[in-house]
Amino acid sequence: MSFHQALRPARLRTIVVAAVLAVTGLLVVTSQGASAHEVTAAGTGGAKPVIVIEHGAWADGSSWDQVVRILQGDGYTVYVPPNPLRGVAADSAYLNDFLTQNMNLAGKPVVLVGHSYGGFVITNAAVGDSEVKALVYVDAFLPKHGDTLKSLTTSGSCLAADPTKVFDFVPYPGGPAGDVDLYVKQSLFPGCFANGLPASEAAALAATQRPLAASALDEPSGAPAWATLPSWDVIGTGDHIIPEAAQLAMAQRAHAHITEINAPHLSMISSPDAVTGVIEQAARATS
Average pLDDT (38-65) is 77
Confidence band, pLDDT 50/70/90 cuts, at residue 58: very high
The whole-angstrom separation of Cα 211 and Cα 216 is 11
Instruction: Identify the pLDDT of residue 42.
Output: 27
The residue among 124 and 16 whose pLDDT is bigger is 124
Residue 42 near residue 53 (C-beta atoms within 8 A): no
Count of other CB atoms within 10 angstroms of residue 1? 7
User: In this structure, are residues 118 and 91 in contact, taking their beta carbons and an 8 Å threshold?
Assistant: no
**Cα dist from 105 to 109, 120, 129, 225, 286, whole Å:** 8, 22, 12, 19, 16
- Check if the beta carbon of residue 266 is closer than 8 Å to that of residue 197: yes
Cα–Cα nearest to 157, from 217, 99, 208: 217
Cα radius of gyration rounded to whole Å, the chain: 20
Question: What are residue 233's DSSP bridge partners?
Answer: 137, 258
Run of H or E residues at 257: strand 257-261
In whole angstroms, what is the distance from residue 200 CA to residue 81 CA?
A: 26
Please compute the mean of the pLDDT values over residues 229-244 and round it to a whole number. Answer: 98
- Distance, CA of 231 to CA of 282 (rounded, Å): 8
Torsion sign (Cα): 106, 111, 112, 114: negative
Q: Which domains does the chain have, with CATH numbers?
A: 46-153+216-286 (3.40.50.1820)
The structure's pTM equals: 0.84
Whether 46 has a pLDDT exceeding 90, the answer reads no
**Residues 35, 36, 42, 48: is their CA dihedral positive or negative?**
negative
Q: What is the pLDDT of residue 45?
A: 53
- pLDDT number for residue 256: 98
Alpha carbon distance 38, 44 (integer Å): 8
The continuous run of DSSP H or E covering 79 comes out as: strand 78-79
Residues, the chain: 287
pLDDT tens digits for 116-150?
999 999 999 999 999 999 999 999 999 999 999 99
The tens digit of pLDDT for each residue in 202-231 reads 999 999 999 999 999 999 999 999 999 999
Q: Cα–Cα distance between 75 and 54 in angstroms, integer?
A: 20
List Cβ neighbours of 112 (8 Å cut-off, separation of 6 or more).
Answer: 52, 54, 99, 122, 125, 126, 132, 134, 135, 136
**H or E segment to which residue 114 belongs:** strand 110-115
Q: In the predicted model, is pLDDT for residue 39 greater than 70?
A: no
Q: What is the pLDDT of residues 157-196, one digit of tens each?
A: 999 999 999 999 999 998 889 999 999 999 999 999 999 9
Sign of CA dihedral 99, 241, 149, 185: negative
Other C-beta atoms closer than 10 Å to the C-beta of 267 total 25
